[in-house]
Amino acid sequence: MSKTLLVITTYNQSKYTKLCFDSLKNLEDDIDVLVIDDCSTDDTVKICKEYGYEVITKEEGLGLTDSWNRGYYEFKSRWFNNESGFDDNYDYFILANNDILIPKGAITELKNTFAKWPFSLVVPTSTTNGVGHNTEQSIENHYQGMLPYCNDPNYYQEMQDKILNMKIKIEELNI
């Protein structure tokens, strides 16, 4: 079975971090979660520990890009360094921010994509409100009214199920 390292970056906003972690309860894959925290001042680190996730807290806030780079560094060092004490040799690396929800089956779909196209890069889509500066990234742009517009996190699984049921092939996406 393949192993995945999911790195979640955080900086405050513990409310969203908790929602993100709650969405991970439905995952069926072999995933290790590592949190890179950018020196949060709220209860984010406490929540990470309550959920049992490993968390690396930076001593000073260095920004999101630094957190992404640190996550990638951790992935590489754990994959290449057998002396790290970690269960190494990850097959997949997923980098996410703490304000996402991951529906059941989403990681499996990513792995299937990578198995078909090993050098793939998957980037997120968002709602038009979330990417007002670049509407081509909006989910409405790709599904043109076939999905209900909704900012309520309780509908994320329903939205994912509708996407999967449409059986839209990656080759047909005109992006």
If asked whether residues 78 and 130 sit together in one domain, one would say no
Distance from C-alpha of 74 to C-alpha of 94, rounded to nearest angstrom: 12
pLDDT score for 36: 96
Q: What is the pLDDT of residue 4?
A: 84
Closest CA to 105 of 145, 52, 152, 165: 165
Where the chain has pLDDT below 70, the residues are 1, 28-29, 79-88, 118-157, 159-160, 162-175
pLDDT score, position 49: 95
Alpha carbons within 13 angstroms on the beta-carbon side of residue 32 total 20
pLDDT attached to residue 170: 47
Query: CA angle 65-62-69, nearest 5°?
Result: 35
Domain span at residue 53?
Answer: 1-103
pLDDT value at position 109? 80
Say if residue 15 is in the same domain as residue 45: yes
Same domain, 91 and 29: yes
42 shares its domain with 12:
yes
Report the C-alpha gap between 16 and 100 in whole angstroms: 8
With respect to residue 27, please indicate whether it lies within any of the assigned structural domains.
yes
111 within some domain? no
15 with 86, same domain?
yes
Q: Does 116 map to a domain?
A: no
Would 145 be classed as within a structural domain? Answer: yes
Place of tokens 């560094």: 73
Polymer length in residues for the chain: 175
- Structural domain tally of the chain? 2
**CATH code, domain with 82:** 3.90.550.10
Q: Is residue 26 part of a domain?
A: yes
Please tell me the predicted confidence (pLDDT) of residue 45. Answer: 96
What integer pLDDT is reported at residue 117 of this predicted model? 74
Tokens (6 digits) for 24: 């991970």
Element containing residue 96 per DSSP (H, E): strand 92-97
* Residue 71 located in a structural domain: yes
Beta carbons of 93 and 5 less than 8 angstroms apart: yes
Q: In this predicted structure, what is the pLDDT of residue 77?
A: 82
Domain identity same for 21 and 99 = yes
**In a domain? residue 89:** yes
Residue 19: inside a domain, yes or no? yes
